[in-house]
Chains A and B, each alone.
Chain A
Amino acid sequence: MRPDYQISQLDALESEGIHIMREVAAEFERPVLLFSGGKDSIVMLALAEKAFWPARIPFPVMHVDTGHNFPEVIEFRDRRVADLGVRLVVASVQDSIDAGRAVEETGRHASRNRLQTVTLLDAIEEHRFDALFGGARRDEEKARAKERVFSFRDEFGQWDPKNQRPELWNLYNTRLHRGEHIRVFPLSNWTELDVWAYIEREKLDIPSIYYAHERQVFERDGLLLADNPFVPRGQDEPLFTAMVRYRTVGDMTGTGAVASVAVTVAEVIAEVAATRITERGQTRGDDRVSEAAMEDRKREGYF
Chain B
Amino acid sequence: MDILRFATAGSVDDGKSTLIGRLLYDSKSIFVDQLEAVERTSRDRGEDYTNLALLTDGLRAEREQGITIDVAYRYFATPKRKFIIADTPGHIQYTRNMVTGASTADLAVVLVDARNGLTEQSRRHAFLATLLRVPHMVLAVNKMDLVDYQAEVFDRICEEFSAFAARLDIGDLTFIPMSALHGDNVVDRSANMSWYDGPSLLHHLEHVHIASDRNLIDVRFPVQYVIRPHAATDADLHDYRGYAGEVAGGVLKPGDEVLHLPSGFTTRVRRIDAAGVEVPEAFAPMSVTLLLDDDVDISRGDMICRPHNRPAAAQDIEAMVCWMSSDQPLARRSRVIVKHTSRTVKAMVTDLHYRIDVNTLHRDEAATQLGLNEVGRVRMRLTQPVFCDPYTRNRTTGGLILIDEATNATVGAAMITEAS
- On A, residues with C-beta under 8 Å from B are 1, 4-9, 11-16, 18-19, 22-23, 25-26, 49-56, 138-139, 141-146, 161-162, 164-171, 173, 175-177, 188-189, 191, 193-194, 275-278, 281-282, 291-292, 295
Contact = CB atoms under 8 A, between A and B. Distances in A.
Contacts of A9: 1-3, 81-82
B285 A138 contact: no
A41 to B, nearest CB: 18
B59 A162 contact: yes
B141 to A, nearest CB: 27
A145 to B, nearest CB: 5
Contacts of A194: 82
Contacts of A16: 285, 287
Interface stretch (B66-74, B147-155, B355-363): B66-74
7 contacts: A15-B286, A26-B300, A50-B275, A166-B413, A167-B410, A173-B401, A177-B408
Contact of B251 (A5, A22, A144, A193): A5
A18 B246 CA distance: 9
Interface residues of B, number: 79
Nearest to B100: A166
Contacts of B73: 138, 145, 188-189
Contacts of B341: 171
B228 A55 contact: yes
A145 B72 contact: yes
A99 B70 CA distance: 39
Contact of A169 (B56, B71, B103, B337): B103
Nearest to A13: B3
A93 to B, nearest CB: 27
Interface of B: 1-3, 28, 31-34, 37, 41, 55-61, 63, 69-75, 77, 81-82, 84, 96-97, 99-100, 103-104, 211-212, 214, 216, 224-225, 227-231, 237, 240, 244-246, 251, 273-276, 280-281, 283, 285-287, 300, 324, 337, 339-342, 395-396, 399-401, 403, 408-410, 413
Given A168-B103, A277-B32, A277-B33, A53 B2 contact: no
Tell me whether chain A's interface is mostly helix, strand or loop, or mixed. Answer: loop
Nearest to A163: B409
Contacts of A188: 73
Contacts of A177: 408
Contact of A175 (B60, B69, B273, B403): B403
B408 A173 contact: yes
Nearest to A22: B225
A292 B337 CA distance: 36
Given A9-B82, A291-B41, A295-B58, A26 B225 contact: yes
Given A55-B229, A145-B73, A165-B410, 17 more contacts: A7-B286, A13-B3, A14-B287, A15-B285, A18-B287, A19-B245, A22-B225, A23-B224, A52-B227, A55-B230, A166-B96, A166-B100, A168-B100, A171-B401, A173-B403, A177-B408, A191-B77
A166 B97 contact: yes
A282 B60 contact: no
A282 B31 CA distance: 11
A12 B4 CA distance: 11
A53 B278 CA distance: 12
Nearest to B73: A138
Nearest to B276: A53
B100 A22 contact: no
A15 B246 contact: yes
Nearest to A296: B60
A281 B30 CA distance: 12
B31 A281 contact: yes
Contact of B337 (A4, A175, A281): A175
Query: Shortest 7 CB-CB distances between A and B: which pairs?
Result: A142-B58, A281-B33, A175-B408, A55-B229, A168-B103, A18-B287, A50-B275
A176 B408 contact: yes
A52 B273 CA distance: 11
Contacts of A55: 227-230, 240
A200 to B, nearest CB: 15
Nearest to B62: A146
A229 to B, nearest CB: 30
Given A9-B3, A15-B286, A189-B84, A26 B74 contact: no
B401 A49 contact: no
B386 to A, nearest CB: 12
